[in-house]
Amino acid sequence: MAATSFIRSLAKAELHLHLEGSITPATLLELRERQGKPGTLAEVECLYRYGDFIGFLMAFKAVTEDLHDADDYELITYRLLEQLKRENVLHAEVYVSVGVCLWRKQDFFSIFEGLERGRKRGEQDFGVSLLWIFDAVRQFGPGRAQEVFEIAASLRHRKVVGVGIGGDEQKAPPELFRAAYAYAAGQGLRLTAHAGENAGAESIWGALNLGVERIGHALTAYHDPELVEELAKRQIPVEACLTSNLRTGCCARIADHPLRQYFDQGLMLTLNTDDPGMFHTSLTAEYQLAQTQFAFSNEHLRELARNSFEASFLGAESKLQFLNLLDAVPLRNSN
Ligand SMILES: [Zn+2]
């Protein structure tokens, strides 16, 4: 379903977005052609099919295997900003799977130059602001996460704002990463974590105990009313990703998703795409889904958009500038 003009014109920020997961099949084909690997779109699209969460993690890894050098990373960053402009996403905080780069023994500092070239060109051409969040793969263990966080700390002066952990929660609970998070906090990095995506509420409690400032997904929080109360009381931003949860099978049916329940219980909710290229979604599609499936009014959606700026890691002045743009769109523009 096409998004309404209100949703399209609403100024939005996106806070849970993986650069590698934003690669569309067409761009992946282009990356392969650059490597002299002939192929068809149909072949590439096969990579984007999987049956469950672990299958999705494998597909994500397979997509990263076509990223070779700084130029590849520059291209996908630029394409992402181009896409965000179309969605009227004015600011994005973008995960880079630095853990995967290190595992593949890539020279990350060289890759980072490509990322920054893409960001600067994209910001200039599309006016979209971007901050980086470096993501560690939790099943690679706390030592690897520490390496990722140290690289993040060394690039803090270059738009790297925070760190996170993603991957298979069941293989590596948050408690393992206490020292790495304490280190990152000490370096002035902002803290996020995927939690309650493919594990229960205890994983979200664990993330809170690490001092994280935003929770990625929190899909399973509703099993624990005390936790929901805590998230509401502390106004911990939740990065909800509707289509992602359905596509990975973490949520069986859209009707089972706790999005509306969280909103009604006063949680600070934001809407996100997670991996728009891999899930064939966009941020406007996620807003539309919230309206169609969960009866969010335009006023509610504006509140979610407001949350996306408030919960960002931008400075106070930048937040205010974006919020003024958000308030400029009339509420009654609904089709
Ligand atoms: Zn994610």
pLDDT tier for residue 332 given thresholds of 50, 70 and 90: low
User: Half-sphere exposure of 149 toward its Cβ, with a 13 Å CA cutoff?
Assistant: 28
Would you state the pLDDT for residue 95?
Answer: 98
For residue 51, report the distance from its CA to the centre of ligand 1, in Å. Answer: 17
Q: Is the pLDDT of residue 170 over 70?
A: yes
User: Half-sphere exposure of 321 toward its Cβ, with a 13 Å CA cutoff?
Assistant: 8
For residue 249, report the distance from its CA to the centre of ligand 1, in Å. Answer: 14
Would you state the pLDDT for residue 39?
Answer: 85
For residue 194, report the distance from its CA to the centre of ligand 1, in Å. Answer: 6
For residue 38, report the distance from its CA to the centre of ligand 1, in Å. Answer: 30
User: So what's the architecture of 5-325 in CATH?
Assistant: Alpha-Beta Barrel (3.20)
Spatial neighbors of 144 by CB under 8 A, at least 6 apart, are: 99, 102, 103, 136, 137
Helix, strand and coil in the chain, % to nearest 5: 55, 15, 30
For residue 195, report the distance from its CA to the centre of ligand 1, in Å. Answer: 10
The catalytic residues are: 197
Q: Is the pLDDT of residue 27 over 90?
A: yes
For residue 59, report the distance from its CA to the centre of ligand 1, in Å. Answer: 14
For residue 282, report the distance from its CA to the centre of ligand 1, in Å. Answer: 14
pLDDT tier for residue 239 given thresholds of 50, 70 and 90: very high
- Mean pLDDT (the chain) is 95
Would you state the pLDDT for residue 190?
Answer: 98
Q: Is the pLDDT of residue 43 over 90?
A: no
Is residue 215 within 8 Å of residue 246, measured between CB atoms? no
To the nearest whole percent, how much of the chain has pLDDT over 70?
99
Burial class for 178, CB neighbours closer than 10 Å (0-12, 13-18, 19+): middle
Would you state the pLDDT for residue 220?
Answer: 97
Mean pLDDT, residues 208-219:
98
pLDDT tier for residue 328 given thresholds of 50, 70 and 90: confident
Q: How far apart are CA 97 and CA 101, in angstroms?
A: 7
Mean pLDDT, residues 81-109:
96
Would you state the pLDDT for residue 69?
Answer: 95
Spatial neighbors of 101 by CB under 8 A, at least 6 apart, are: 108, 111
For residue 17, report the distance from its CA to the centre of ligand 1, in Å. Answer: 6
For residue 328, report the distance from its CA to the centre of ligand 1, in Å. Answer: 31
Q: Is the pLDDT of residue 334 over 60?
A: no
pLDDT tier for residue 289 given thresholds of 50, 70 and 90: very high
Residue spans of the domains in the chain: they are 5-325
SS3 of residue 197 by DSSP: coil
- Average the pLDDT over each of 36-45, 230-239, 302-311, 315-324 and give the range with the smallest value: 36-45
For residue 162, report the distance from its CA to the centre of ligand 1, in Å. Answer: 14
- Average the pLDDT over each of 51-60, 94-103, 316-325 and give the range with the smallest value: 51-60
Per DSSP, 274 falls in state B
Would you state the pLDDT for residue 98?
Answer: 97
Beta bridge partners of 238: 215, 269
pLDDT in tens, 11-23: 999 999 999 999 9
For residue 166, report the distance from its CA to the centre of ligand 1, in Å. Answer: 6
pLDDT in tens, 114-134: 999 999 999 999 999 999 999
Is residue 309 within 8 Å of residue 13, measured between CB atoms? yes
Phi, psi of 318 (to 5 degrees): -65, -40
Single out the residue of 153, 235, 216 nearest to residue 190, CA to CA.
153
Q: How many CB atoms lie within 10 A of CB 298?
A: 19
